[in-house]
Structure 1
Amino acid sequence: MKSFSPVAFGALLVGGMAIGFAGILMRLSDVNPIASAFWRMALASPLLWAWAFATARSDAAAGLSTDLSRILVLSGVFFAGDLAIWHLALHYTTVANATLLSNMTPLFIAIWLFFVYKTRFSNGFLIGMAVALGGAVLLIGPSASTSSTQLMGDGLGFFSAVFYAGYQLVIKDCRESYSTARLMAWSTTISAVILLPLALLMPGPFLPPNAEGWIPLLALALVAQIGGQTVIAYAFAHLPASLASVSLLIQPLTAALAALAIFGERIGPWQIAGGALLLCGIYLSKRNST
């Protein structure tokens, strides 16, 4: 197991909080849900490629790969699937619900690591993960609805977690041979290519109606993709995948607070308690993964 890196862990939490605003920004956009996912990737790609080309010499000196590979394609496929399904979920359910359910990845990652790599987890880590997941469920539990529309949105949010888990595991493997800049440039571009036809086929506008409509899409690219996923990709190179996936449960807490402030999605006492438990679970997982 890698030694614990406070800088990487701090970066992971900052990245997780940045992604917590993705649902808010998607709701504020004037394009269809898949189009907002596409523009998030497409607008971030040029900046990421500029960074990748700027670090190409240092990557070569460090013996890191730069060419497209099968595992990079896989990262783009998984992330495109995650974004497409999650953005649809946001169309039918609350920001907090969709964000939480898409971050149930610790369950899938722990199962994958256990069966494929025979990973054994300490009791302290398992308790921390259970507390974090329980807190996350409590965070959105009181607002759960039995309407068919919201249930469909919740189901989509949960299904997106499968793709998000796959993306996190692939990104973790990619960081062994690719720099953060090159990895994110390739992965983001591949995701954009996959999302483009889906966005064009999806009912609803593909382009924003005016110049102001580009603001939330640019914010998605800069805050969620570059400030969020890119920072997380850096952190994944220095932290165990199990700890990283649990710590990313900071996203639904951020999303719930932001949704309260912007859309009036209320947070009651049980949800506040859930947020506190979530943070305690993250701390316990961190403490028992060192």
Structure 2
Amino acid sequence: MTLHTRSLLALIAGAIGIGFAPIFVRFSEVGPSATAFWRITLALPMMGLWAAASGGGVTRPGGRDWSVLALVGACFATDLAIWHWSIKYTSVANATLEANLASIFVVLMGWLFFGTRVSRKFLGAMAVALAGTALLVGKNAYITPDTLKGDALGVLSGVFYAGYILSVKSARDRGLSTVTIMILSGVLTAALLLPAAWLSGETIVPNTLKGWLAVVGLALVSQFGGQTLITYALARLSAAPASLGLLIQPATAAMAAWMILGEALAPAQLAGGVILLAGLWMARREG
């Protein structure tokens, strides 16, 4: 198996792990920023154990590397806090769809700040994949005056997630290892999220076993599993195709909602899933 294929599989597996995040967030007993704080904090010891078991360890970054890691942590903290708040004010379907507009923002930001160009074929594949995503979540997505605040936050979270993807890609291109990026940027992310939760007056500590299981599951499946695999994949994949592959997240979220919450999938949603996969297949050679 080639490194490129391994990276694609890691990206898909990571996107599936993140796809379960809305389910865990919905079951969380603490506030949006506090949920994000536990997501990062509880994953850090697992990453430390992984680093020790693999023998790789955390390498000491150079002077300029720290600024990139700081950008990774700041973008991810802002993305998580805003996205978790968006779920509070709008539907999970809306928040999931809007956050995945990151695929568009990655292309735009890559072009504006890095001079990155993509082919017309890729842009066409992105349009197909986004259309499939919209159809996939369309049954449960709706915009009303009451959801506008949450919808605006959802779109804004997509901007910061795009910044996170590009900054992680930059860190990987500088030679920083997956475990180094995840642990060092994770410490900064947690350090930003805890005061944000406190200043927002949120409940910070879960009160029941169910509440703890929700944040532990979020840390284990979505953060340690999902984000680590995506960080690994970005070493071999360019940012734009990688962000497009992350559109597997809403498909996973829809399947999880069907299996766990009993939300049936309509024929149009199933068709949207097929269209989404077709778009990803069209873009497969652009990574």
TM-score by length of structure 2 reads 0.91
Give the residue type in structure 2 aligned to 1:116: F
Report if aligned partners of 1:4, 1:239 keep a CA contact under 8 Å in 2. Answer: no
1:183 aligns with 2:181: yes
The whole-number CA distance in structure 2 between the counterparts of 1:56 and 1:170 is 25
1:169 aligns with 2:166: yes
Higher mean Cα deviation, 8-17 or 259-268? 259-268
Deviation at 1:134, TM superposition (A): 1.1
The partner residue of 1:65 within 55, 61, 66 is: 61
1:144 aligns with 2:141: yes
Could you report, residue by residue, the CA deviation over 1:139-164 in whole angstroms, capped at 9, with x for unpaired residues?
A: 22333323333232222111100000
SS in 2 for 1:31: coil
The partner residue of 1:128 within 125, 129, 134 is: 125
Residue matched to 1:224: 222
The whole-number CA distance in structure 2 between the counterparts of 1:266 and 1:97 is 17
Deviation at 1:260, TM superposition (A): 2.7
1:239 aligns with 2:210: no
Give the residue type in structure 1 aligned to 2:47: L
Report 1:270-285 matches (<5 A). 270-285=268-283
The whole-number CA distance in structure 2 between the counterparts of 1:4 and 1:53 is 23
Report if aligned partners of 1:92, 1:150 keep a CA contact under 8 Å in 2. Answer: yes
TM-score by length of structure 1 reads 0.90
Residue matched to 1:78: 75
Report if aligned partners of 1:108, 1:162 keep a CA contact under 8 Å in 2. Answer: yes
The whole-number CA distance in structure 1 between the counterparts of 2:51 and 2:185 is 12
Distance change (3 Å), C-alpha of 1:4 and 1:148: farther
* Gap runs ≥5 in structure 2: none
Give the residue type in structure 2 aligned to 1:19: I
Report if aligned partners of 2:93, 2:140 keep a CA contact under 8 Å in 1. Answer: no
CA RMSD of aligned residues (A): 2.2
Deviation at 1:66, TM superposition (A): 7.2
The whole-number CA distance in structure 2 between the counterparts of 1:139 and 1:66 is 44
Distance change (3 Å), C-alpha of 1:43 and 1:58: closer
SS in 2 for 1:84: helix
Give the residue type in structure 1 aligned to 2:259: A
Deviation at 1:52, TM superposition (A): 4.0
Report 1:85-104 matches (<5 A). 85-104=82-101
The whole-number CA distance in structure 1 between the counterparts of 2:35 and 2:263 is 22
Give the residue type in structure 2 aligned to 1:197: P
Higher mean Cα deviation, 216-225 or 251-260? 251-260
Distance change (3 Å), C-alpha of 1:275 and 1:71: same
Give the residue type in structure 2 aligned to 1:46: P
Could you report, residue by residue, the CA deviation over 1:51-75 in whole angstroms, capped at 9, with x for unpaired residues?
A: 4456676776xxx737871110111
Report if aligned partners of 1:66, 1:182 keep a CA contact under 8 Å in 2. Answer: no
Report 1:14-25 matches (<5 A). 14-25=13-24
SS in 1 for 2:126: helix
The partner residue of 1:207 within 197, 205, 208 is: 205
Report if aligned partners of 2:11, 2:242 keep a CA contact under 8 Å in 1. Answer: yes
SS in 1 for 2:283: helix
The whole-number CA distance in structure 2 between the counterparts of 1:59 and 1:100 is 35
1:43 aligns with 2:42: yes
* Gap runs ≥5 in structure 1: none
Report if aligned partners of 2:38, 2:215 keep a CA contact under 8 Å in 1. Answer: yes
